[in-house]
Chains A and B, each alone.
Chain A
Amino acid sequence: MATTHDEPNYIAVWIWLAVLTVIEIGVANTGLHKMLILALLVSLAVVKAVMVAVYFMHLKFERRTLALIAVTPALLLLLLTFAVYPDAMGSNFDRRLMPQEEAAAVKH
C-alpha cells in the first residue's frame, strides 16, 4: 500500500532541468578551454542527474539508507573510470614501448 508523500514543485524542477540543458548547449559551443568545458559540462550533467534522482525519483523523501543503494553504482563507476584512466591515456605510449619490452622479455 502506498502512503502519502510530500510533493516537490515539479514544474520548478522541470524549468531548472530545461534551463540547465540550454546552458549545457551554450557551454559546449563556447570557445573556452577544452578542460574547462569538460569540467562545466560534467558538473552540469551531474547536477541534472541528481535533481532527477532527488525530486522525480523521490530520494529526498526516502530513508537515507536507500540513497546508499543509489549512490553505490556512482561510486563504483568513479572507481572504474580511475582504473581505466592510466591505460586509456597511456595507449599512445604502448604502441612504441610495449613491443620493445615484449622483445626484451622474450630474449630472457
Chain B
Amino acid sequence: MSQAAAMEHPVGVEPAESPLTPESWGKLGMWIFLAGDAMSFGGLLAGYAALRLGDPVWPDPDSILGINLTALMTFVLICSSVSMVKALSAIRHGDHAGLKKWLLATILGGTFFLGCQAYEWTHLIDHGLSLSTLFGATFFILTGFHGAHVTSGVIYLSVILALSGRFDEHSNTPVELVGLYWHFVDLVWILIFTFVYLL
C-alpha cells in the first residue's frame, strides 16, 4: 500500500509495526499456544503443591515410585531434544538424510519414553495405586497429562517426517515448530520429574 493510500485509510494500518517473529507467523502462534499450555501445566502443578503441602501424611515418593527408571526416561527425553535440534540444524543446511535420521531418532526417544511410562503405570496399578488417594490422583493426572503431550508429539513428529521431502534449507518452519513443541514437552518433564519424583 502506498503512503498516500495509507494516509487515506489510517485505521488498521500500522506501517511501523514489525512482527515478533519476522520469519513466520506460525512461530508466534506456536509460542502463544505453548504459553497457554504452560498455564494448564502450571495450574495442575500449583494444585498438586496445595494438596501436598496441606496433607500431613503425604508419602515419600521414593517409597512408591521407581526413581531409577524415571531418571532413565528423563535422560532419554533430554537426548531426544538434542536429536530434535540436530534435525532442524540438518535441514537448515539442506541435509535431507540428516533431517530424516534425527527426526526418526526423536520419534524413537519419545516412543521409548511412552513405553517406560506404560510399564511404570502398569506396575503401580498392579500394586494398588489408584485415583482414590490424593497421591495417586495427582500422580496419574500430572504424568498422564504430560504423557498425552508426548503421544501428541510423537504423532506430530511422524507427520513432519512423512512430509520431510517438502522442506529444504530455505523453507523449514514446520520442522522448527514441531521442535518448539517437543522441547516444551521436555521442559515440562524436567519440572514434573523434580516435583513429583524427587521432592
Q: Do A and B come from one complex?
A: yes
Q: Which A residues are within 8 Å of any B CB, using their own CB? A: 1-5, 7, 10-11, 13-14, 17-18, 21, 24-25, 27-28, 37-38, 41-42, 44-45, 48-49, 52-53, 56-57, 62-63, 65-66, 69-70, 72-74, 76-77, 80-81, 84-85, 87-92
Cα distance A47–B123 in the bound complex, in angstroms: 32
Are the CB atoms of B54 and A87 closer together than 8 Å?
yes
**CB-CB under 8 A for A88 and B53, given A18-B75, A21-B75, A21-B78:** yes
B40 nearest in chain A by CB position:
A73
Are the CB atoms of A80 and B54 closer together than 8 Å?
no
A64 nearest in chain B by CB position:
B20
B181 nearest in chain A by CB position:
A57
Q: State which size class the interface on B falls in.
A: 35 or more
A55 nearest in chain B by CB position:
B85
Q: Mark each residue of chain B from 160 to 199: 1 if its CB lies under 8 Å from any CB of chain A, else 0.
A: 0000000000111100100110011011001101110011
Are the CB atoms of B35 and A73 closer together than 8 Å?
yes
Cα distance A92–B53 in the bound complex, in angstroms: 10
Q: Mark each residue of chain B from 38 to 67: 1 if its CB lies under 8 Å from any CB of chain A, else 0.
A: 110011011101111111100000100001
Are the CB atoms of B170 and A2 closer together than 8 Å?
yes
A sample of 13 inter-chain contacts (CB < 8 A) reads A1-B170, A2-B176, A3-B22, A3-B23, A10-B85, A44-B194, A56-B85, A57-B187, A62-B20, A62-B21, A84-B46, A84-B47, A88-B52
Are the CB atoms of A65 and B173 closer together than 8 Å?
no
Question: Of A41, A52, A92, which one neighbours B186 at CB under 8 angstroms?
Answer: A52
Cα distance A78–B112 in the bound complex, in angstroms: 32
Tell me the chain B residues, 101-147 only, with Cβ under 8 Å from chain A.
none
